[in-house]
Amino acid sequence: DVCTSGLLDTELIGEAVLPTIRHALAHLMRAAPGAHMIPAAASVYAQVISSDMLWSWHSLADAEAAGVPLSAYQLRRGEGEPACSGASAAANIQASRLVPGRDFTALTPPVRVLHFDFHAIAPAAGAEGGNGDGDSDGDGDGAGDGAGEGGTWANERYLRVPAVSPDEAGAEAHAVIFWWDLHMAAGTELVLSTAPAWARDPDQDRPQWRDHWMQALCFLPEPLPVGGTGGADTLLVRALHDDFSVWFDVCSAPAAAAAAAATEGGGDADAGAAAG
């Protein structure tokens, strides 16, 4: 039996590819190894960045602080607006148009944070055979916590922020850019990638221009100081997903956990990436 699907979007899973394939495997196909999925798997990669330009798209500027008289505006910020963190939903972005070092600063290397094997989609929470604890690959490690329809799965990564020189004041983490690679067939190296141009290996083909399947941007609730004096030198990045969305939590890593991650190689590019 062969199942082909193209239910993908910039966020990868926003067009219900997970519940669709789950249903196909349960009701329309023979059990593995008789079932063949095209595409066979997908990996999500993420990078924490600092960008005053991108943050300005997310947060309204303070006109008074910028020296602009309020009389020049017909619309004014409400009193509670500065405390509003905005939506956690991902925004589409043509990240290849951003110039590293000019439009943003990379605070971490790109790392694989989620992996989906389309031959073994985790059961929905509460369904027969579902573990209900967010252990998305069913290997018993219990990563994440099941919540809501379809469950919520999480994968934690400790990422070391590149050192800054003592004369630098550090930076602020503003957002997470993420993209995905699609592994078209099991046992082959045929990959369709949405990685931006600046994140690709030099021997990879030049990315195709698309108005779909771009890259995605998730803003942090507020800027997070990193590096310098008093800033985090290790970040805890939690990649979470349910059946339809991917989102991130980023915070300073506790010192003990950061030390353990460094000892165990937790900052390696693909170490510890869990199946989604």
**Residue 130, token pair as written in the block:** 């579902």
For residue 212, what are the CA distances in angstroms to 8, 92, 194, 216? 10, 9, 10, 11
Number of helices (H), then strands (E), in the chain: 3, 13
Q: What is the pTM of this model?
A: 0.78
Nearest to 47 by CA among 135, 115, 108: 108
**pLDDT 10s per residue in the chain (276 long)?**
888 988 999 999 999 999 999 999 888 887 767 788 999 999 999 999 999 999 988 876 665 555 666 565 556 666 666 666 666 789 999 999 999 999 999 998 899 999 999 988 877 654 544 333 333 433 333 333 333 344 778 787 777 776 554 445 678 899 999 999 999 988 888 899 999 999 987 776 677 777 889 999 999 989 998 876 667 778 888 899 989 999 998 988 776 565 555 554 444 433 333 334
